[in-house]
Amino acid sequence: NIIDVSAADSQGMEQHEYMDRARQYSTRLAMLSNNLTHWKKLPLLPSLTNQPHQVLASDPVPFADLQQVSR
């Protein structure tokens, strides 16, 4: 069931009709958002630095160092 808000003519609609539709839309949205189990908040990633711009601006790690670490 979809409530088509774009088709609503706001000039020809009484205020109580508008409020009823808004309440119905909010209720439906709340019901649907409660049913979404895979959209739970994920834990935040750990912060390794307080100044990420300095890390991103630094020189990249040499390829030889990456190979040594992977061995």
User: Is 1 a domain residue?
Assistant: no
User: Is 61 a domain residue?
Assistant: yes
The phi, psi pair for 20, rounded to 5°, reads -65, -45
User: Is 66 a domain residue?
Assistant: yes
Q: What is the 3-state secondary structure (H, E, C) of the chain?
A: CCCCHHHCCCCCCCHHHHHHHHHHHHHHHHHHHHHCCCCCCCCCCCCCCCCHHHHHHCCCCCHHHHHHHHC
Question: What are the pLDDT digits (tens) for 17-39?
Answer: 888 988 999 888 888 877 776 66
User: Is 22 a domain residue?
Assistant: yes
User: Is 3 a domain residue?
Assistant: no
* Average per-residue pLDDT for the chain: 79
Domain that holds residue 64: 15-70
User: Is 0.75 topped by the overall pTM?
Assistant: no
What is the C-alpha to C-alpha distance for residues 57 and 47, in angstroms, rounded to an integer? 17
User: Is 5 a domain residue?
Assistant: no
Number of domain units in the chain = 1
